[in-house]
Amino acid sequence: MRRMDSLNKALLGKWVWRFAVEKDNLWRVMIGVKYGQEEFGWKTKEGRGAYGVGAWKEIMKEANWCWENIKFKVGKGTRIKFWLDQWCGDERLSHAFPLLYEMAINKNATVNEMWDHSSGPGGWNLRFIETSMIGSWT
């Protein structure tokens, strides 16, 4: 029975993945219209009430598990959240560096927004709240 649970989870996860990547398919467009989409169109909003019934609701029960186990290829960095998506290393930067995340000015910034393109090859431009606002580090 345990093997069947794993298979079921994998198959439901495949639908979550297909929603993220099959942008122009009719089924995907209709699900996106019915439930709404979160930023960048990677996933739908959570179904509630009359809209949260049926097969898609069951598929979305596995969505968090899927997103916790997906790594992203950055590309241009316009669709990958710097702090919240797992794109660098084995965990999200918000989990790896919780104190820095708490001080980050824009917790929802994309990788592209955190990269300074203004000089040469560029570099990271991490923006944090002023340390005087949170007291002494010692």
Domain residue limits, the chain: 2-68, 71-138
Phi and psi angles of residue 115, each rounded to the nearest 5 degrees, phi first:
-100, 130
* Three-class secondary structure of residue 124 per DSSP: strand
Task: Say if residue 42's pLDDT is above 80.
Answer: no
128 pLDDT more than 80: yes
d(Cα 5, Cα 128) in Å, to the nearest integer? 44
Provide the whole-model pTM.
0.56
Extract long-range pairs of 114-123: CB within 8 Å, 24+ residues apart.
114/82, 115/77
Does residue 133 have a pLDDT over 60? no
pLDDT of residue 16: 83
Task: Give tens-digit pLDDT for 61-77.
Answer: 777 777 777 777 788 88
Number of H helices, E strands in the chain: 7, 2
* pLDDT surpasses 70 at 14: yes
